[in-house]
Amino acid sequence: RPISLSLDAPDTLFCMVNRAGFISILDNLVDNAIRYTTTAGHVEVRLIRYARHMELSVCDDGPGISAIEHERVFERFYRVPGTTQQGSGLGLAIVQRIAQSHGATIRLGEGLFGRGIGIVVSIPTT
């Protein structure tokens, strides 16, 4: 499927994280965004460093997740009703557990172009 994948990040960004954990968070979020966005869709990854935290955001223009489902998608093995893509329902549960081990928070927000979902992981840097 042709999907546009973009990265908006500084050339260098220093932050103390568990490397394997951070890569797992990034991998799960990008995999989900690609898996659930539409054909010819868009996925955007951003890394921003603030004074006391770093934000990793992954946004897409797929079908999104209804507000009613926002809390449930972090439950192990939970899949949004009507989902046809393959998966086990573990990705966001893994992301949440690793984020918590970093003292990070996760929030779900708007996706791209008025569609989809955006997931922001805010990791403390101090």
Structure confidence at residue 83 (pLDDT): 65
Looking at the chain, the whole-number percentage of residues with pLDDT higher than 90 is 57
Residue 125 has pLDDT above 60, yes or no: yes
Report d(CA 110, CA 60) in Å as an integer: 9
**How are strands ordered across the β-sheet holding 105-110?**
4-8, 42-49, 53-60, 117-124, 105-110
Report d(CA 116, CA 59) in Å as an integer: 7
Structure confidence at residue 14 (pLDDT): 85
Backbone angles phi, psi at 94, to 5 degrees: -65, -45
- Per-residue pLDDT reduced to its tens digit, 46-65: 999 999 999 999 999 988 87
- Residue 115's SS3 state is coil
Its pTM stands at 0.86
How long, in residues, is the chain?
126
